[in-house]
Amino acid sequence: MFVEECNTVRFGNVARVIHGFPFKSELYAPDDGLSPRVVSIGNFDYSGGFRIGGDWKVYKGHYPSNYDLNPGDVLLVMTCQTEGGEILGIPATIPDDGRSYLHNQRLGRIQMVRPDCADLRFLYWVCLTPAFNDELCASASGTKIQHTAPSRIESFEFQLPDLESQRRIATALDALDSRIALNEKLNGALEATAAAVFKSWFVDFDPVVAKSEGRKPFGMTDEIAALFPDRFAPNGLPEGWKSGKFGDIAMSIRKGANPSLHDLPYVGLEHIPRKRVTLDDWGHSSDVSSQKASFSRGDILFGKLRPYFHKVCLAPFDGICSTDILVLRPCHANHLSFVLLHAFSNDFVDFADSSSGGTRMPRTDWHSLKTFPVSLPPDEVLRAFERVCHPLFEHLILNQKQNQALRNLRDAILPGLVSGELQIKDLQKEVVAL
């Protein structure tokens, strides 16, 4: 039975917070899939856990072995580079994925002191409550960069139900996060499928190669296969295709935000995930200056500051965005997937990087991006491509909307569950209703 009466305890009564190690940045390297990953603040999602598809660095030097992390270990962010301190105390759990992870500085590891009366997974959810973040922000040192410390975390007081209730609460909330993670995994598979079809049709020209060799193109209907020629022109493109520029298929939208609109979502560079076309987080227009750009559902948002050219997403709603984001729109509705996957490609990102200018904050612009070379197939090929990919992106948006609803539910009900004011059945009813 759920116990509504809880004991008030200090965090430090049940767990300690351990500092990380100052790994040398000159010994960092891009993720090679083998070396130990160094957990950094940039790997954390503002809603808890690690960012999906985030950039990881590995370590190529020696370090004390006691900074190796184990699956299930929970780390807390102890430094936030914004004045609001939004990420202070945000937790993430080391996954059991066969990789090694290292405990970096400015991150605290939770070490249980009283496992007989407190559950680590329950503490994870305590660390995601607004009360926890509010207290850390109130006691933080620094102005532009906010810092907390193990002692400040350990002084936080909260309501602790009995151990069985803690585990039931943590299990229910973990299940909610697992449902979110499953949708994100599915979205990754949908994105990969669309990107693979794009590369096959418009980069490797697989259908043309197959037909030129007397083979049937793989993975497409006879109707679609008939749209592709069986030979290449002297310029190396499929016969009947043309060389063009990105500006032939897309336009840049420069429309100021209406100051009278205060209820629209706001998207900044910090909200767009890396190497993902789905948008999982955003702010509110009432929280930012009106000197922003507006966008519409189905527009493409492209980060124009280096090193954020890999931040590209499909807008799932009408809203406003930072002026550090270019709003792109296909010239024709049946070009959306074609334009989006061009903007999402590594070649486009490399082009943006090479064409960017400036010293302190290099950036690109539409004048440069519109000159990116593209191969232009006949319109019937583009329509067929849109018929293949449009349902994938619509499914992506639906999954994203469900995840946002699940996160909103979790955030709304979390304080009550942790404090004992709400019961598990309240969460179950809300989940079933989604």
Q: For the domain that residue 210 is a member of, what is the CATH number?
A: 3.90.220.20
* pLDDT band for position 333 (cuts 50, 70, 90): confident
Inter-residue contact 247 to 254 (CB < 8 Å): no
The answer to whether residues 333 and 372 belong to one domain is yes
pLDDT average, residue stretch 103-122: 96
pLDDT band at 246 (very low <50, low <70, confident <90, very high): very high
Q: Which domain holds residue 296?
A: 185-396
**Between 287 and 241, where is the model more confident?**
241
> Which H or E run contains 301?
strand 300-303
Instruction: Kindly state whether residues 189 and 263 are assigned to the same domain.
Output: yes
Query: For residue 4, is pLDDT > 50?
Result: no
The rounded distance, in Å, linking the Cα atoms of 235 and 386 is 26
Q: Is the same domain home to 250 and 189? A: yes
Q: Are residues 219 and 86 in the same domain?
A: no
User: Residue 428 pLDDT > 70, yes or no?
Assistant: no
Q: Is 238 in the same domain as 142?
A: no
Q: Give the residue from 174, 217, 18, 185 showing the smallest Cα distance to 109.
A: 18
433 domain residue, yes or no:
no
Alpha carbons 175 and 424: distance in angstroms, whole number = 12
Query: Which pairing describes strands 68-69 and 101-102: parallel, antiparallel, or unpaired?
Result: antiparallel
pLDDT computed for residue 3 by the predictor: 38
- Split at pLDDT 50, 70, 90, the class of 434 is low
| pLDDT higher than 70, residue 216 | yes
Domain count within the chain: 2
Which residues, including other chains, have CB under 8 Å from residue 340's CB and lie 6 or more apart? 277, 300, 312, 314, 393
- For residue 109, is it within any domain? yes
Residue 424 lies in a domain: no
Strands 265-267 and 319-321: parallel
Does 277 lie in the same domain as 147? no
Quick check: 97 pLDDT over 90? yes
Please tell me which residue, 52 or 209, carries the higher pLDDT value. 209
Q: What pLDDT does 66 receive?
A: 95
Lowest mean pLDDT among 43-47, 66-70, 193-197, 254-258: 254-258
In this structure, the answer to whether residues 191 and 155 fall within a common structural domain is no
CB atoms under 10 Å from CB of 133, counted, come to 20
What's the mean pLDDT in 150-177? Answer: 93
pLDDT tier for residue 249 given thresholds of 50, 70 and 90: very high
Q: Note the helical H segments in 102-233.
A: 120-126, 130-139, 150-154, 163-202, 206-212, 222-225
Query: To the nearest whole number, what is the mean pLDDT of the chain?
Result: 89
pLDDT confidence of residue 1: 30
* Three-class secondary structure of residue 320 per DSSP: strand
Higher pLDDT, 197 or 433: 197
57: pLDDT strictly greater than 60 = yes
Query: How far apart, in whole angstroms, are the C-alpha atoms of residue 81 and residue 17?
Result: 21
pLDDT-derived band at 280, boundaries 50, 70, 90: confident
Domain presence at residue 429 = no
Indicate if the alpha-carbon torsion angle 290, 291, 297, 301 is positive or negative.
negative
Evaluate if residue 212 carries a pLDDT over 60.
Answer: yes
Whether residue 196 is predicted with pLDDT greater than 90 in this model: the reply is yes
Between 47 and 431, the more confident residue is 47
Q: pLDDT-based confidence at 420, cuts 50/70/90?
A: confident
Most confident of 178-192, 233-247, 304-318: 233-247
Within-domain flag for 60: yes
Q: Percent of the chain scored above 70 by pLDDT?
A: 92
Q: Give me the pLDDT at residue 261, please.
A: 58
404 within some domain:
no
CA distances from 355 to 246, 304, 322, 351 (A): 14, 11, 21, 6
Which of the two residues, 308 and 237, has the higher pLDDT score?
Answer: 237
pLDDT tier at 2 (50, 70, 90 boundaries)?
very low
The whole-number average pLDDT for the span 354-364 is 75
DSSP structural state of residue 37 = E
| Residue 221 to residue 217: CA distance in whole angstroms | 9
116 in the same domain as 197: no
At 311 the pLDDT is 84
Report the run of H or E that residue 379 belongs to, with start and end: helix 379-419
User: For residue 327, is pLDDT > 90?
Assistant: yes
**Do both 134 and 234 map to the same domain?**
no
Segment 152-173 shows an average pLDDT of 94
19: phi > 0 → left, psi -120 to 50 → alpha, else beta; which?
beta
Shared domain for 121 and 247, answered yes or no, is: no
Between CA 226 and CA 241 the distance in angstroms is 15
* pLDDT for 283: 81
Tell me what pLDDT residue 323 has: 84
* Residue 411 host element (H or E): helix 379-419
Residues sharing a CB contact under 8 Å with residue 41, sequence separation 6 or more, in sequence order: 77, 79, 80, 81, 87, 106, 107
Higher pLDDT, 143 or 153: 153
The answer to whether position 360 is within a domain reads yes
Decide: 279 and 315 in contact? Cβ < 8 Å.
yes
**Is the N-terminal amide bond of 307 cis, ω within 30° of 0?**
yes
On whether both 222 and 291 belong to a single domain, the answer is yes
Cβ–Cβ < 8 Å for 27, 59: yes
pLDDT value of position 355: 79
Q: What is the per-residue pLDDT for 259? A: 56
137: in domain:
yes
| Confidence category of residue 423, pLDDT binned at 50, 70, 90 | confident
Same domain as 79, residue 201 = no
pLDDT in the model for residue 262: 62
- The one-letter amino acid code at 397 reads I
The Cα 150–Cα 136 span in angstroms is 10
> Sign (positive/negative) of CA torsion 367, 368, 369, 372?
positive
Burial 45-64 (b: 16+ CB within 10 A, else e): bebbbbbbbbebbbbeeebe
